[in-house]
Copies of this chain bind each other. A is one copy, B any other.
Amino acid sequence: MSKRDEGADLHPIPGESPIIVLVEPQMADNIGMVARAMANGGLFHLRLVKPRDGWPNERAIITSSGAHRILEQATVHDSVDDAVADCHRVFATCPRPRHIVINTRNARAAAEDLRTANAAGQRVAVLFGPERNGLTAEDIARADTLVKYPLNPAHNSLNLAQAVMILAYEWWMVEEPSPPRALQTHGTHVATKGELDNFMGHLLDELDACAFLRNEAKRPGMVRNLRHWFERGEVTEQELRTLHGVVAELSRGRMIRGRKERE
């Protein structure tokens, strides 16, 4: 049983996963949606600085869509200083320009840095400001790193949960092991070249029988085109069996019609 499962006294283990700190969040609904976004990306520690609607709050439970354990274990703080006092690193996010000198990271680079800091056993907090105005310059001065979301400058209006969602998504993606591109085959497997050749032989025999390939000059090119198409589709052995059936049935129809026409 991990420390996380021991109940409400949870204190985030350094290097476990980053802590999301919502500074003066206005709507309880948004706190719940933040918890949902966090759970999607594998983040579990939430701290709230002076939540406007009070805490705990039933609205947040409703919008968390099952991520209520994050809410149950969230802690409430009087100030940003109090919320980050035990953290080794503090990242801040802010959609508005602030005239401060600070290291900046886009969300992807920030996630990589969070993983690095975490792997080094550091406890890291990421600050998100109030919905309306974002963090103050004073709040950001508590941070060592500013996270920027490089989005459409003509319409940059991430809401609080979306901002947390993108960070949580990038956090998850840093160590995502599944391949970016794959064929999902569900139980069946891609046909071997031998199985495909066998089918191509079947098809060509039938096409020759119905004289579709009768133009000897064009025959090689037509055969090659057909083969290209079947190769490109990464056909599975199950699909090939269906295709064998299709060719056999179409041919049978032709043979029956042929027989009738001869009658």
> A-side interface residues toward B, CB under 8 Å?
36-37, 39-42, 65-67, 99-106, 108-109, 146, 148-152, 154-159, 161-162, 165-166, 169, 172-173, 176, 178-188, 234, 236, 238-239
Contacts and interface: CB of A to CB of B under 8 A. Distances in A.
A182 B37 contact: no
Q: From A66, A179, A181, name the one whose CB has the most chain B CB atoms within 10 angstroms.
A: A181
Contacts of A188: 101
A161 B160 CA distance: 13
B150 A176 contact: yes
Shortest 6 CB-CB contacts between residues of A and residues of B: A109-B180, A39-B155, A42-B152, A150-B176, A104-B184, A99-B186
Given A36-B157, A103-B184, A150-B172, 4 more contacts: A67-B157, A150-B176, A150-B178, A162-B162
B105 A186 contact: no
A246 to B, nearest CB: 16
Contact of A152 (B39, B101, B103): B39
A150 B67 CA distance: 18
Given A66-B155, A157-B65, A100 B40 contact: no
A185 B146 CA distance: 12
B184 A36 contact: no
A151 B166 CA distance: 11
Nearest to A103: B183
Contacts of A234: 103
A40 B184 contact: no
A104 B181 contact: yes
B169 A40 contact: no
A161 to B, nearest CB: 8
22 contacts: A39-B154, A39-B155, A39-B157, A40-B158, A66-B157, A67-B157, A99-B186, A101-B185, A102-B183, A102-B184, A103-B182, A104-B181, A104-B183, A105-B181, A106-B178, A148-B178, A150-B176, A150-B178, A165-B165, A166-B166, A166-B169, A169-B169
Given A157-B39, A162-B165, A106 B180 contact: yes
